[in-house]
Amino acid sequence: MKAARETRAAWRVALGNIIFNADTPAGRVFDLGLILAIFVSVLTVMLDSVASVGRRYGPLLNDIELGLTALFTVEYLLRLLTARHARHYARSFFGVVDILSILPSYLALLLPAAQFLLIVRVLRLLRIFRIFKLVRFLSEASVLQQALQASLAKITVFIATVLTLVTIIGTLMYVIEGPQNGFTSIPTSIYWAIVTLTTVGYGDIAPKTGLGKTLASLAMILGYGIIAVPTGIVTVSLAQAQRGVQPDRVCPRCGLRGHTRDALYCSRCGEKLPGSLGQMP
Amino acid sequence: MKAARETRAAWRVALGNIIFNADTPAGRVFDLGLILAIFVSVLTVMLDSVASVGRRYGPLLNDIELGLTALFTVEYLLRLLTARHARHYARSFFGVVDILSILPSYLALLLPAAQFLLIVRVLRLLRIFRIFKLVRFLSEASVLQQALQASLAKITVFIATVLTLVTIIGTLMYVIEGPQNGFTSIPTSIYWAIVTLTTVGYGDIAPKTGLGKTLASLAMILGYGIIAVPTGIVTVSLAQAQRGVQPDRVCPRCGLRGHTRDALYCSRCGEKLPGSLGQMP
Amino acid sequence: MKAARETRAAWRVALGNIIFNADTPAGRVFDLGLILAIFVSVLTVMLDSVASVGRRYGPLLNDIELGLTALFTVEYLLRLLTARHARHYARSFFGVVDILSILPSYLALLLPAAQFLLIVRVLRLLRIFRIFKLVRFLSEASVLQQALQASLAKITVFIATVLTLVTIIGTLMYVIEGPQNGFTSIPTSIYWAIVTLTTVGYGDIAPKTGLGKTLASLAMILGYGIIAVPTGIVTVSLAQAQRGVQPDRVCPRCGLRGHTRDALYCSRCGEKLPGSLGQMP
Amino acid sequence: MKAARETRAAWRVALGNIIFNADTPAGRVFDLGLILAIFVSVLTVMLDSVASVGRRYGPLLNDIELGLTALFTVEYLLRLLTARHARHYARSFFGVVDILSILPSYLALLLPAAQFLLIVRVLRLLRIFRIFKLVRFLSEASVLQQALQASLAKITVFIATVLTLVTIIGTLMYVIEGPQNGFTSIPTSIYWAIVTLTTVGYGDIAPKTGLGKTLASLAMILGYGIIAVPTGIVTVSLAQAQRGVQPDRVCPRCGLRGHTRDALYCSRCGEKLPGSLGQMP
């Protein structure tokens, strides 16, 4: 945002600041109004699905929905108009979410009773996350994101292990309990294994035989222990992200890895680290 | 508590010490008696709600309740009388809780059968937390509180993400399973998504179709992994609060943030930190 | 164990070594045999409760039980005989567990059909923990125990908060849902609140009204976040216990607290710490 | 892999590289093809168990299964042929898994309708883990494995405690609730205790009496707190494994334990540590 294009009209720059930034009072008001409109529109979708409400207030909810869609359309066009690079905005994550949140309403006008389109309207909720880009939640969200990214490989290993486990446990239970006890097929048994291992435990399917209950008990204690692994992974990553540890920052002299962002010298051999923040006089 | 008002009668100061402090034997006895009375009164409310007990011992329970309300009224008046600043006490958190725990009993005398007032009486339980102000739990509670406050922003991001997730998953399930399988409306489906993602899993609503079970399985594994995030956040904050890390304590020379409460010099550039505890000679 | 009483007969010392220690091959064999006998006796109790097994093998199980009780009685007498201080042993935790695991069998001979005595017999299982005193699990168990003790005060604050929460949530649900929806009394509603907040979720009681489901959703998300607190507490304590941090070890010069067991000098002012391990030359 | 046997034919070495390594493009293609074949074969087993699919596509699924078994047989023979030490491979973990994943298909041809053999076929999934040996997940998996191994003793103590707890709680509930409320035997009651303590909570068995509900509530709060222990154990171990702490690395001068893999000098007395990585000039 350093070099503003001089050639653009001043009102476009001013309007863009209101729409894309939340630093000014006007921008803050705009953002709050937008969030309110999103909440109202999602609430409309929800209420419309409740039989008693939908029957009675259906037309009213429809009108509100139409009005909000018009509003979101104007907003989208303004964003296209005032964005520094309209094409870049249209292809960005929030650009796609913005268009996805108005398109289905127009499609539903052309092709009525397309119930599945209503899912996409709920995606409007994702627009709420736009505010995280603006306010002080930014650094918090980035620490969380950094921690999750750093643990991605470990979490992949973990999920692969869990999926293999539930497949084997599910198949075993299918053989032990069988269709007569609710384990009608291997996919259903794997579903049961996931319900059990994640400690959700609906109880719609539950083992009846002694052997089945014993295996289920083992699976539960296993699942109880297994939950500790992702927790451990995320905690350690978060602690490192918080301290500013950068796993890729290597000492050029002794090869020690994982110095913090703040570190000036290698903690082992005292060598000056490259890429120091340089805030020191 | 440094400068005691000389003009106040000596008995008011003495009584105030008994009521507000737990340092003296008399104060300790008073607090224990108060906690006992609170437990008895909450137990009275509970027992009264059990049909078989309420029918038989209703009048007795009512008498106990009346007696305890009289007692709490006297206690409240004494607190008003002996508090250093009566108005300040009346507006404080515990002052409001104290009045809330006696008012409904009087209102119920005037407007009988106002069942909802019984909720407020249970708020008396909050008065138990008064003892945490007094004993050695203070520092423990403050470390917990400090850790939770430090992670507030991260937890807000996390809860916003969870709420968006359950709304999207719930809407998807409403479309997939539909009212014929118990997902009668989007709010009900969101309720199901919360029950599933938090691994509570009542089983009053459960997916019946294959596609629904597949999506539910994904939601469960997601929920299983997601639980790791708040745990990681709280653990890291707690570890920092325990070590006395103060995120706002910045070195005036090199700008390094997050020094501990105990630190005298910047851990990076050796600059003396402002606001050092000064216990060193 | 430094000064052995010379006056005791050599065979008593030798037998005591076998019974109380696991360092010698004979002691190891004795311990393994004991654990086997305990498992068999507990298995006997369990199998006897299964209707089909109890009807058929009841007399046989009874005979095994009588034989094992005789064996445990002989063992108890030998322990009394060979213990360095018979009275001290009889009053110790394991001494009480040992007598409790044989007494009910004799009482059941005198007062037949006293079903509740069978509970006490299962307490024999506690004797298994005796082996933790002997083998390499000792230090692991002690680190766990130390961590739990260090977090006792924090966990007390946490449990008091949880109990207050479930009481208030339970009472609210009793008023909202009422006896017609399964919330028959406040104690029952509190039971539901505990089932929900701990994410167990049986589903025997579940909210039916919209308001009830909303409050239940809030309680679940709360419970989901709350689980992070004890986890954080135990993790931090465990990390400290592992590093050998002693919260009570204070520097005599600058007052810094929480030095590790290994520390020789204060990490802040360099003062030599009292009670250093003294392994250094 | 340092000294390759010169006497082996060049094509065997080349083929072995493709089959056992994933460093070359050909090896990568081979591995991806293998994983695809494994997924297809496991999917075949699953689909065959779904009544509607099995009835209709049974013969087709059978043909796919036969074809894949032939493929896996050729692969196994090639592995035997190209392995540096055929006997060593045949006895290794993956060698046993490889033979176990083809044998049942041949046995099922000889002894038809042996349904239990289908379990073993699902073990083919374990072959997926072979890829973890090859790619960048290796170091991640090894950190996880190291952390779990380091916490093995603590986790054993923890599981023994949990098993003792569920036995005692289960027996108590059997006496309190009895067969008339679903707690038909002590093993069943222990199954209920595991379902409750691990927060799975099916609801197929649930306490009915007031005393039973009270004990169940205590068990739930206990289970809620207990989950913190394995999480804490794994987190601390993972943090140590990440930092490269080696509990067995002792300073020869002052006896301080638990230096990191990277450490050159004792952090307490400055003694040079034996077994330093020697990367320093």
Of D118, D191, D231, the CB nearest to A231: D231
Read off the CATH number of the domain in which A225 is found: 1.10.287.70
Q: In 3-state terms, what secondary structure has residue D280?
A: coil
Average of per-residue pLDDT across A175-183: 88
Residue C196 predicted with pLDDT over 60: yes
In a domain, B174, yes or no: yes
In a domain, A143, yes or no: yes
Identify the weakest region by mean pLDDT among B25-29, B127-131, B198-202.
Answer: B127-131
Work out the percent of chain C whose per-residue pLDDT is above 90. 10
**pLDDT, tens digit, 9 for 90 and up, residues A35-90:** 888 888 888 888 888 888 888 888 888 888 889 889 989 988 988 888 878 888 88
Looking at residue A3, its pLDDT comes to: 47
C101: left (phi over 0), alpha (psi -120 to 50) or beta: alpha
Is the minimum CB–CB distance between B199 and chain D shorter than 8 Å?
yes
Collect all residues of chain C within an 8 Å Cβ-Cβ radius of residue D159.
Answer: none
Q: How far apart are the first and last CA of chain B?
A: 29
Probe site for chain A from C204, C229, C231, C238 (most A CB atoms < 10 A): C231
Q: How many domains does chain C have?
A: 2
- A109 shares a domain with A150: no
Looking at residue A156, its pLDDT comes to: 78
Is the minimum CB–CB distance between D250 and chain C shorter than 8 Å?
no
Neighbouring C-alpha atoms within 13 Å toward the C-beta of D280: 14
Asked if D160's CB is within 8 angstroms of C129's CB, the reply is yes
- C17 shares a domain with C119: yes
Collect all residues of chain B within an 8 Å Cβ-Cβ radius of residue D199.
Answer: 199
Whole-prediction pTM: 0.83
Residue B207 predicted with pLDDT over 70: yes
Collect all residues of chain C within an 8 Å Cβ-Cβ radius of residue D177.
Answer: none
Average of per-residue pLDDT across B77-96: 84
CA nearest to A258 within chain D? D243
Looking at residue A214, its pLDDT comes to: 92
In a domain, A149, yes or no: yes
In a domain, C267, yes or no: no
Residue A276 predicted with pLDDT over 60: no
Looking at residue C2, its pLDDT comes to: 45
In a domain, D251, yes or no: no
C-alpha distances in Å from residue D39, one per residue of A278, B20, B169, D134: 52, 70, 27, 19
Q: Which two tokens stand for residue D172?
A: 């108590």
Is the minimum CB–CB distance between C264 and chain D shorter than 8 Å?
yes
Residue D280 predicted with pLDDT over 60: no
**pLDDT, tens digit, 9 for 90 and up, residues B103-131:** 877 877 777 665 566 667 777 777 776 66
In a domain, C257, yes or no: no
- C170 shares a domain with C78: no
Confidence of residue D188 (pLDDT cuts 50, 70, 90): very high
Is the minimum CB–CB distance between B225 and chain D shorter than 8 Å?
no
Average of per-residue pLDDT across C74-78: 89
- C161 shares a domain with C105: no
**pLDDT, tens digit, 9 for 90 and up, residues B3-15:** 444 556 777 777 7
Mean pLDDT, chain D, rounded, equals 78
Identify the weakest region by mean pLDDT among B138-142, B257-261, D87-91, D131-135.
Answer: D131-135
- B99 shares a domain with B207: no
- B127 shares a domain with B19: yes
**pLDDT, tens digit, 9 for 90 and up, residues C246-267:** 666 777 777 666 666 666 666 6
In a domain, B84, yes or no: yes
Which range of residues forms the domain containing residue A110? 2-133
Residue written as tokens 């067995």? D248
Identify the weakest region by mean pLDDT among B190-204, D113-127, D159-173.
Answer: D113-127
Question: ipTM score here?
Answer: 0.79
Please, which residues 48-77 of chain C have a Cβ atom closer than 8 Å to chain B?
Answer: none
Give the integer Cα–Cα distance in Å for B72 and B126.
14
Collect all residues of chain B within an 8 Å Cβ-Cβ radius of residue A41.
Answer: none
DSSP letter assigned to residue C24: S
Which helix (DSSP H) or strand (DSSP E) does residue C131 occupy?
none
More confident residue, C177 or C19: C177
C-alpha distances in Å from residue C151, one per residue of C57, C155, D277: 48, 6, 38
**pLDDT, tens digit, 9 for 90 and up, residues C89-148:** 888 888 888 888 888 778 777 776 655 666 677 777 777 776 655 545 556 667 777 777
More confident residue, B144 or C41: C41
- A98 shares a domain with A218: no
- B123 shares a domain with B58: yes
- A201 shares a domain with A187: yes
Confidence of residue A193 (pLDDT cuts 50, 70, 90): very high
Tell me the range of A250-264, B88-102, B142-156, C61-75 where mean pLDDT is highest: C61-75
Which chains does chain A touch, 3 or more C-beta pairs < 8 A? B, C, D
Identify the weakest region by mean pLDDT among A21-30, B201-210, C86-95, C163-172.
Answer: A21-30
Collect all residues of chain A within an 8 Å Cβ-Cβ radius of residue B203.
Answer: 201-204
Distance from CA of C235 to the nearest CA of A (A): 9
How many Å is the Cα radius of gyration of chain A? 27
- A92 shares a domain with A7: yes
Residue A213 predicted with pLDDT over 90: yes
Read off the CATH number of the domain in which B19 is found: 1.20.120.350
Asked whether the beta carbons of A69 and A102 are under 8 A apart, the reply is: yes
Give the integer Cα–Cα distance in Å for B88 and B67.
28
Asked whether the beta carbons of A214 and A229 are under 8 A apart, the reply is: no
Which chains does chain B touch, 3 or more C-beta pairs < 8 A? A, C, D
- A106 shares a domain with A82: yes
Collect all residues of chain A within an 8 Å Cβ-Cβ radius of residue D101.
Answer: none
Enumerate residues 6+ apart whose C-beta is below 8 A from D227: A224, A227, C227, C230, C231, D199
- C54 shares a domain with C34: yes
Average of per-residue pLDDT across B161-189: 89
Asked if A185's CB is within 8 angstroms of D46's CB, the reply is yes
Q: Exposed, middle or buried, C275 (CB in 10 Å: 0-12/13-18/19+)?
A: exposed
